[in-house]
Amino acid sequence: MSRGQSLVELALCAPVVLLLTLGAAAGVQVVDARAGLEAATQAAAAEASRAPDPVSAESEAQARFASMAAGYPLSSPHLSISVGKFSRTGEVEATASGTVDISWAAPVFPRQLTLVSHAAVPLESWRSHRP
């Protein structure tokens, strides 16, 4: 009798445990991607704030963002940089987005989640000065 009861308990609990496991693993992937997007956005803004001119600020920020975002589970990451007038009192604003593909956990989460990150860094005055 206890053998049959154990089988019924396993049949009832196994799907719940499986869904919890899938949810935890997908949650970890989303948190990792979110942290990576935040770090890449902040690093890109910081890189742009140290550039000597707006053109190099954009290209250096894009390069830094691409190199950092590549190490995280992000699909199609995109960075937008705004340097304003690029004056000593200005700041660099970076906005980034990317998607996380968690289609393997479809019973628990949607197939894709879109993440957005924003960072603002003041320009380094000694780098943005033109003689």
Q: How far apart, in Å, are the Cα atoms of 10 and each of 3, 19, 35, 37, 41? A: 11, 14, 37, 40, 46
Report yes or no: 71 and 33 within 8 Å, Cβ to Cβ: no
21 within some domain: yes
Report yes or no: 49 and 83 within 8 Å, Cβ to Cβ: no
Q: Which one, of 119, 30, 29, lies nearest residue 80 by Cα? A: 119
The residue behind tokens 């954009």 is: 58
The domain of 55 spans 2-122
Q: How many domains does the chain have?
A: 1
8 within some domain: yes
45 within some domain: yes
pLDDT in tens, 54-109: 899 999 999 999 999 999 999 999 999 998 888 778 899 999 999 999 888 877 77
Q: Name which residue leads in pLDDT, 28 or 127.
A: 28
pLDDT in tens, 3-30: 788 888 888 898 888 888 888 888 899 9
pTM for the full predicted model: 0.82
